Amino acid sequence: MAAEKGNIRLYSADIDSAAIQCAKKNTKVFDGFVFEGDLYHALPNEIKGRVNILVANAPYVPSKSMKLLPREARLYESQLALDGGEEGLDIQRRIAEEAPYWLTPGGHLLVETSARQVQKTEELFTNAGLITNVAKDEFLEATVIIGTKQAI
């Protein structure tokens, strides 16, 4: 997005130090800001209520399904990046609940989820006061829930 749109301010946060190092490399060319910490707690308060687009790559695999992931995912991906708790919605729930405080009116929250979790993820967004849409890419087998904060 930064490469295509240009004039944006890019902030990112993660709890995994390897992801932090990767983010620093990826955002360096855009003068992006990278913070280590848990979700919104890592971000500077001055951007609260001013975020236009919030993209969260949250883990959504239910804990009991972790053993069913492809071998390469189990061996080479961080469990933190995959395990979404009992239903796979623990982190998504936290992201949705706090998003309205960070988004500007008309701002959007985008979170990938599984096809099986669409309804529950939409409910999380709706319960947080966001208007939801679902975007699917059949080629990539990807489903993204888009939550929009109502414009005032």
Q: For the segment 89-113, what is each residue's pLDDT rounded down to a tens digit? A: 999 999 999 999 999 999 999 999 9
Q: Could you tell me where the beta strands, DSSP code E, fall in the chain?
A: 11-14, 33-36, 51-56, 103-113, 130-137, 142-149
How many angstroms separate the CA atoms of 45 and 37, rounded?
Answer: 14
Angle at 36 between CA 29 and CA 65, to 5 degrees: 105
Q: Is the pTM of this model over 0.85?
A: yes
What's the pLDDT tens digit per position in 37-78?
999 999 999 999 999 999 998 988 888 988 888 888 888 888
More confident residue, 65 or 7: 65
